[in-house]
């Protein structure tokens, strides 16, 4: 199945949204807290959120034509993240420190960039633009 560059880059942007919401809503130096860790404080909400966010990433991986090794690596990260969400108290700490959604999203984004070239971050997302900058002579 051939995937268009536009659809692949749409998947890249979707993965960016998931990783920011899940693991980088509030950045603290190299660490971050997101909805994944916050949802753990409500009984049952942590694993539900983790599975839904992971499902979005896997769906986007399939839709973008990601390689099987990338999909497998994503599944391992997401399974570990979801398993941590289901353990009371200690799991909350591990889940907050283990950015599984971020790692899975990064794996997907690297796969997309390898196959379809870099995607530009939407306006207003902050950080560095992924678009190549022209060098001045």
Model pLDDT for residues 31-76, shown as the tens digit of each residue: 788 898 888 888 888 889 989 999 999 999 999 999 999 999 999 9
Which residue shows structure tokens 């997907």? 108
Q: What's the CA gap between 96 and 136, in Å, rounded?
A: 43
Q: Is 121 helix (H, G, I), strand (E, B) or coil?
A: coil
Q: H or E segment at 57?
A: helix 45-63
pLDDT at residue 18 greater than cutoff 70: yes
Is pLDDT larger for residue 122 or for residue 80?
80
Pairing of strands 26-28, 31-33: antiparallel
Give this prediction's pTM. Answer: 0.81
pLDDT at residue 124 greater than cutoff 60: no
Q: 43: which 2 tokens?
A: 């009984």
Percentage, residues of the chain above pLDDT 70: 85
Q: Per-residue confidence at 122, pLDDT binned at 50, 70, 90?
A: low
Q: 34: which 2 tokens?
A: 């997101």
Beta bridge partner(s), residue 32: 27
C-alpha distances out from residue 15 to 43, 44, 109, 133, Å: 26, 24, 7, 23
């Amino acid at each position: 199945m051939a995937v268009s560059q536009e659809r692949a880059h749409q998947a890249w942007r979707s993965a960016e949204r998931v990783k920011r919401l899940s693991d980088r809503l509030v950045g603290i130096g190299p660490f971050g807290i997101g909805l994944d860790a916050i949802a753990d404080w409500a009984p049952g909400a942590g694993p539900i959120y983790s599975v839904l966010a992971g499902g979005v990433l896997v769906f986007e991986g399939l839709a973008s034509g990601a390689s099987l090794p990338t999909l497998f690596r994503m599944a391992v990260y997401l399974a570990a993240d979801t398993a941590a969400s289901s353990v009371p108290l200690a799991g909350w700490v591990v889940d907050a420190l283990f950015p599984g959604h971020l790692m899975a999203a990064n794996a997907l984004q690297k796969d997309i960039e390898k196959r379809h070239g870099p995607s530009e971050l939407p306006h207003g997302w902050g950080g560095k633009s992924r678009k190549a900058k022209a060098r001045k002579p």
